[in-house]
Amino acid sequence: MTVPPPGGTSPGTATAALSRVEAVQRRLANLVSGLDCAAIKVEVNNELAVRLTGSIDSQKNQAEFLRQARAIDGVSRVDSAVAVRPWPQCELDGVADLVTAPEFRITPNKLDKPYKIEKDAITFKVGPPPGRQGYLNVVFLQSDKTAFHYEPWSQVSVQLSNRGVVEKSFGEKEQITLSPPAGKMAIVAVFSFDPLTLVTFPTEGQDKGQANQNSKEYFANLKRILANHPGAIVSYIVFDTIL
């Protein structure tokens, strides 16, 4: 005879409850993986009540995602704290919680005003983490949802000196202006102890030393690399551009 554990729940009942929770978690994970731009965390308790936190790119996608979550068989309740944060913030949120640090910062030459497309030159400084030496990798996220890589910025050495870590300046010689379409853009800097390879640069032609990458591919590569490089951290700043 099998004696139920205290509380009257048999092992079979507990196993069944666990399998139901896991089934709901899998369904929700599949929904999240199908979203274009979202960073959503899922919690499911033994009563199949769901709690969702994080961000998604639009109110329309937020409403549809919650509708599908509530329609999952067995779900008793869905409590949502999923905020609407347009691209690229909804992508950046996927790495921000685990690998950002307040002392690692990016400072552009215009802090409070948008940049005019093809007119305003953008320069910025990166303050590496104090007390560490390693490498910086800097990328522009453009409003057409591509990541622009510039080879001289892909493996910038950070050395300690008697003054500690010195801010690195970018864009002062290049006179960089931003390309259309106008919208939200971002600068992303990654500090690591080893050089990181996020993209392969062309070796010949007019665009030698420059590369554009789909932002989904960039973030997939970035997350994979961060998982394999302990101590790597990310800093970013989102800014507006106008015509």
Interval 65-115: pLDDT, tens = 999 999 999 999 999 999 999 999 999 998 876 577 888 999 999 988 999
If you ran DSSP here, which 8-state letter would residue 117 be given?
Answer: T
The position carrying tokens 């300690």 is 160
The SS3 call for residue 232 is coil
Close Cβ partners of 221 (under 8 Å, ≥ 6 residues apart): 198, 199
At 28, the pLDDT band (50, 70, 90 cuts) reads: very high
> Would you call the peptide bond into 129 cis, given omega within 30 degrees of 0 as the criterion?
no
pLDDT at residue 207, rounded to an integer: 85
The position carrying tokens 């394999």 is 228
Calpha distance 52→132 (Å, rounded): 36
Is pLDDT of 12 > 60?
no
Is pLDDT of 127 > 90?
yes
Calpha distance 152→137 (Å, rounded): 9
